Amino acid sequence: MMMTAVRSNQPKKLHPHKFALWVAMGSICMMFAALTSAYVVKRNQGIWEDVSFPKMFYYSTAVIIISSITMHLALTSFKARERKRYKLLITLTALLGVLFALLQWIGFKELTNSGIKLLGAGSNAAASFLVVIIGLHTLHVLGGVIALIVAFFRAFSKKIINYDTAPIEIVATYWHFVDLLWIYLFIFLAWIK
């Protein structure tokens, strides 16, 4: 399984923190599986008004994919001990993460401006589901941003220079995970009707 795919510097076993991350990602998958299956169940019954996907979400998709690339480059430059490039790239990744969240916010603004009621009296579950699912996903991306900020301060610390790749590998894996999660949600919400 993934144990063979992600070998760390430890000789035999997967780093326990990395393993814990994989389990946590499984757990997050279950949460979104629950929400998207609730979405399917709900769509097939009762009053359901399809919401057209705002254009902004296409831009945010591009942003998060680019951020995954910068994250990957950051990891390779960390492994190559190019610290300057590494610092630049994680900063860029974190900024792209924030930009992603911002674009999602603007996307919802677009939806409300086009007259769709997301929450409150008279709102339709179809639109409310978007808020819950995309909102939760964005929170997970922001969680990744916080992890990057921690890595950022570690990288700029003068006192300790750390060559252990495990923490940054964990952040990178998580980052690619929320990226993939978004692509799944995007396909699910935008195209599967």
Partner 1 sequence: MSNEAVLHTPSSYAVHDDHAHDHHHHETFITKYVFSQDHKMISKQFLITGMIWALIGGLLSVLFRLQLGYPDSKFPWLQDLLGKFWVEDGRITAQAYYALVTTHGTVLIFFVLTAGLSGTFANFLIPLQIGARDMASPFMNMLSYWFFFAASCVMFSSLFVETGPFSGGWTAYPPLSALGQASPGSKTGMDLWLISMALFVVSTLLGGLNYVATVLNMRTKGMSMTRLPLTIWALFFTAILGILTFPVLFSGFILLIFDRNFGTSFYLSDLYVNGTVLPNEGGSAILYQHLFWFLAHPEVYIVMLPAMGMVSEILSINSRKPIFGYIAMVGSLFAITCLALIVWAHHMFVTGLNPFLGSIFVLFTLLIAVPSAIKVFNWLTTLWRGNIRFTPGMMFAIGFVSLFISGGLTGIWLGNSALDIHLHDTYFNIAHFHLVMGVASFFGMFAGVYHWYPKMYGRQLNNTLAYIHFWVTMIGAYLIFWPMHYEGLAGMPRRYYDYSIWESFKQFAELNRFISTVVIIVFATQFLFLFNFFYSIFKGRKVTNTNPWGANTLEWTTPINPGHGNWPGEIPEVHRWAYDYGKDDREFIPQTEPVGANESHH
Q: Which residues bind partner 1 (CB under 8 A)?
A: 13-14, 16-17, 19-20, 23-24, 26-28, 30-35, 38, 41-42, 45-48, 119-125, 128-129, 131-132, 136
Q: Cα–Cα distance between 14 and 4 in angstroms, integer?
A: 9
CA distance 129 to 11: 45
Of residues 19 and 105, the one with the C-beta less far from partner 1: 19
Phi-psi map region of 42: left, alpha, beta (phi>0 left; psi -120 to 50 alpha): alpha
Q: Measured over all CA atoms, what is the biggest interatomic distance in the chain, rounded to whole angstroms?
A: 61
Residue of 108, 119, 110, 125 whose CA lies nearest to 50: 125
Least Å from the CB of residue 147 to partner 1: 14
Minimum Å gap between C-beta 59 and partner 1 is 26
Q: 84 vs 121, which CB is nearer to partner 1?
A: 121
> Please, which residue, 13 or 55, has the CB nearer to partner 1?
13
* Least spacing, CB of residue 13 vs partner 1, in Å: 5
> Minimal distance in Å, beta carbon 10 to partner 1?
10
Tokens of 94: 């974190």
Structure tokens given for 138: 């964005």
Nearer to partner 1, 14 or 147 (CB): 14
Indicate the residue type of 99: L
